[in-house]
Amino acid sequence: MVFTAAQIASLINAKIEGNASAGVHSFSKIEEAKEGQLAFLANPKYEDYLYTTEASIVIVNESLELKKKVKGTLLRVADAYSAFASLLAKYQELAVQQLVGIQQPSYIDPSATIGENVYIGAFAYIGENVKIGNGVKLYPNTFIGNNVSIGEGTVVYPSVTIYHQCKIGKNVTIHAGTVIGGDGFGFAPQADGSFKKVPQIGNVEIEDNVEIGANATIDRATIGSTIIRSGAKLDNLIQVAHNVEVGNNTVIAAQAGVSGSTKIGANVMIGGQAGIVGHITIADGARINAQSGVSKSIKQPRAAVTGSPAHDYTSALRSQAITRKLPELEKRIKELENLIKQLVSEKV
């Protein structure tokens, strides 16, 4: 399917600079784009490619001042990166909307309620009293346990497992291989040195507009709910333990882990491979650097921490700067020691 610059401009509220009839059929990076493709320029370090690209249409910031003539048509917007992301989302939405119907073989319990325009891929399993909203897409090999509810517009990719009693909101995206609602890690130590399993009878609640990456695990609560608040974005390979609460619009990068009963505020940013101990709180807007080990609560909103154990980010940078100067400082100390010895000997 071919889209013109004029059609695309109407979708992203762009100003057209060039041929409004120019058409594209696919996307590409600006440095590799060919005729008939659309690209975008947001990072100034790639600006040189703007003057050599073969792309028929390029989305750029409205503030960009051209240094040379451009071959293709420009679509000027306030934020090229966000506009391109919106365009990709619309493109993906069109592709997903085409998936409708129930493929066979699949199992759907007679007590389940299925909405309109739903897609259920082959080998899916849908248990008792499941409620699936309008426009939900369940890709092949998904498992939906008893009494699960899934809100309208949600997309569940292949081989996702959603255990019993869990609640999934509207317009949620869950990528392949993720497990929602597996047992939390709860074991009571016994006098003989063994461990007795603590039954995990809670659930997981995922609110609207959440995205969860591939092969993530979100454990069910011991009692109550593990909660992922609306707008949160979780990367691939993330572990969220029982009774954790992740706040609105919080983002967590790959391979991070959050231990049980920790409460993470809204708009928090957590870097890759960060680890957070259990039973603490993270204030709204906190920034946790990659590979940090957070062992105590972060009480100050918008605080930035790094290291293991994690501490103030600015202080850590100062410490690192001093550490790099240690060889020079050692040399200066030895010089001072030698000078003192010399002065003492001369006095004697």
Q: Hey, which residues are catalytic here? A: 242
3-state secondary structure of 7: helix
CB of 151 within 8 A of CB of 169? Answer: yes
| Nearest of 127, 120, 257 to residue 185 by alpha carbon | 257
Question: Running DSSP on this structure, what letter comes out for residue 325?
Answer: T
How many Cβ atoms are within 10 Å of 289's Cβ, its own excluded?
Answer: 17
Q: CA–CA separation, 56 vs 79, rounded Å?
A: 20
Q: What span, in angstroms and rounded, lies between the C-alpha atoms of 52 and 290?
A: 37
Residue type present at position 65: E
313-338: buried (b, 16+ CB within 10 Å) or exposed (e) per residue?
Answer: beebeeeeeeeeeeeeeeeeeeeeee
CB 271 within 8 A of CB 254: no
Residue 319 dihedral angles phi and psi, to the nearest 5°: -60, -40
Dist. CA 256–CA 103, nearest whole Å: 36
- Which residue is listed with tokens 């092969």? 215
Q: How far apart are CA 247 and CA 103, in angstroms?
A: 36
